[in-house]
Structure 1
């Protein structure tokens, strides 16, 4: 098994705006040298995921 160095590790991220859930329990990791992108329909939480 090849071990890859994780450069980003996100665990259990959630975000609500009022009573509306924009993100719910999202987890992912990105390894060194990996190309990564967020794909999804409008309103699915892509911008919310990468914003402060």
Structure 2
């Protein structure tokens, strides 16, 4: 359960970062959001690693 709460916090933080970066143009905003989501996916893979 703690892992799920942590993942939700991570997703919420990523959303706040994307929202805060809205001053850039749409293409840059999309690129930033893509980078953030890629980082989130990497973090989730590391959390789910059974090692």
Q: Assess same fold via TM > 0.5.
A: no
Structure holding more strand per residue: 1
What is the TM-score of this pair, normalised by structure 2?
A: 0.28
Higher relative contact order (CA 8 A, sep 6+): 2
